[in-house]
Chain A
Amino acid sequence: MSVVALKLAEAPAAPADADPAAAAPVATNVAANVAVPPAPTFESGPRPGERLRDVLRVVIPPIFGIALMIGIWALVAIKSGNIPGPDKTWNAALVLFSDPFYSNGPNDQGIGWNVLSSLQRVGIGFGFAALVGIPMGFILGRFAFMNRMFDPIISLLRPVSPLAWLPIGLLVFKRADPAATWTIFICSIWPMILNTAQGVQRVPQDYLNVARVLGLPETKIITKILFPAVLPYMLTGIRLSIGTAWLVIVAAEMLTGGVGIGFWVWDEWNNLKVEHIVIAIFVIGIVGLTLEQMLLLLAKRFTYESR
Chain B
Amino acid sequence: MDKKPIVKIENVGQTFDTKQGRFVALRDINLEVSQGEVVSLIGHSGCGKSTLLNLISGLTTPSSGVLLCDGREIAGPGPERAVVFQNHSLLPWMTCFENVMLAVERVFGRKEGKAKLKARVADALEMVHMAHAMDKYPHEISGGMKQRVGIARAFAMEPHILLMDEPFGALDALTRASLQDELNGVMAKTGATVVMVTHDVDEAVLLSDRIVMMTNGPAATIGEIVEVKLDRPRDRLALAEDPKFAAYRATVFEFLYRKQLKKAA
**B83 proximal to A (CB < 8 A):** yes
**Chain B residues closer than 8 Å to A214, beta-carbon distance:** 79, 102-103, 106, 157
A300 within 8 A of B: no
Chain A residues with CB below 8 A from B137, complex form: 304, 307
- Determine if A228 and B91 form an interchain contact, defined as CB atoms under 8 angstroms apart: yes
Closest to A216 in B: B106
Total of A-B residue pairs, C-beta within 8 Å:
51
Interface residues of B in 183-217 (CB under 8 A from A): none
B59 partner, pick from A212, A220, A225, A307, beta carbons under 8 A: A212
Nearest B residue to A206 via CB reads B89
**Is B82 a contact partner of A213 (Cβ separation < 8 A)?**
yes
Chain B minimum-CB-distance residue to A228: B93
Give Cα A14–Cα B36 distance, bound, in whole angstroms.
Answer: 72
Complex CA distance for A213 and B57, rounded to whole angstroms: 8
A206 CB to closest chain B CB (Å) equals: 4
Look across to chain A and name the residue whose beta carbon is closest to the beta carbon of B78. Answer: A215
Q: Tell me if B85 counts as interface (CB < 8 A to partner A).
A: yes
| Docked complex Cα distance between A193 and B87 (Å) | 31
Decide: B91 and A207 in contact? CB cutoff 8 A: yes
Instruction: Compute how far the CA of A224 lies from the CA of B106 in the bound complex, rounded to whole angstroms.
Output: 12
Residue of B nearest to A224 (CB): B102
Are A304 and B77 interface neighbours, CB within 8 A?
no
Q: Does A271 contact B (CB under 8 A)?
A: no
B79 touches A224 (CB 8 A): no
The answer to whether the Cβ of A131 comes within 8 Å of any Cβ in the partner chain is: no
Measured CA separation A304–B103 after assembly (Å): 21
Interface residues of B (CB under 8 A from A): 57, 59, 76-79, 81-83, 85, 87, 89, 91-94, 102-103, 106, 137, 139, 157
List 10 interface pairs A-B (beta carbons < 8 Å), by A numbering. A210-B85, A212-B77, A213-B57, A213-B78, A213-B81, A213-B82, A213-B83, A214-B79, A220-B106, A224-B91
- Nearest 8 pairs of A and B residues by beta carbon: A304-B92, A228-B93, A206-B89, A212-B77, A213-B77, A213-B83, A214-B106, A307-B139
Knowing that A206-B87, A212-B76, A213-B79 touch, tell me 13 more A-B residue pairs with CB under 8 angstroms.
Answer: A206-B85, A207-B91, A209-B83, A209-B85, A212-B59, A213-B78, A215-B78, A216-B102, A224-B91, A225-B91, A305-B92, A305-B139, A307-B139
